[in-house]
Structure 1
Amino acid sequence: MRRATRPRPASGCRGTACTRRCERRSNGSSAIPWPRRPRSPAASLRPPPYELCTDPDPAITAVVAAMAGYFVCQGRMPGPPGLPTVRAFQRAQGVVALDWLRRRTGWA
């Protein structure tokens, strides 16, 4: 009986986290076990953030303003080496946070 062995890491992998993600199958194809499951259709029907938190508390508005400012400011900076998409992500989050802030405050 053949003993089960752990697959060898793909070339260029270093460290245990990468080894777990870049394991090779017996046929040579990569098996990448992503941590998230695919979204269900119901997950895409979630309400936007401004509908989830309708409390008019000024402290919540201050937190939303801080988040919007952070994401817009960080999204305008040059991209860090090794993370080419982080600034686009921050810009997109800044747009959502600004929209939320506009709706909370009534600013146009």
Structure 2
Amino acid sequence: MITDRQLVIDNLEDKLKAFTHAVGGELTSEADFVISNDGITVFQEGGLFKDVEHYHMHIVPRFKGDDFQWVEPDIDRSAIDFASLEEKLRDALTGREGAGC
């Protein structure tokens, strides 16, 4: 976690920028396995388009026919078990560290 909240990716030190994208890449690989999605969309918004006042990366699992568009979804988030998903992704990433990945 980046605790010193930087505004945009351009302001991140090169080492932190590389680390952030390496972790993002690992998360996309693990999401493919944990969620069984058909693909991933990864992006960040900056300048006029940033939605909060710090840098963060969006990693969106994609499914064939999902008609993905970036709008805030009108869904019942209480039906999503985010804690379980986070635990599965953490376990998957921890397992990869031991494998030298």
TM-score between both structures, scaled by the size of structure 1: 0.26
Which is richer in strand? 2
Higher relative CO (Cα under 8 Å, sequence separation at least 6) belongs to 2
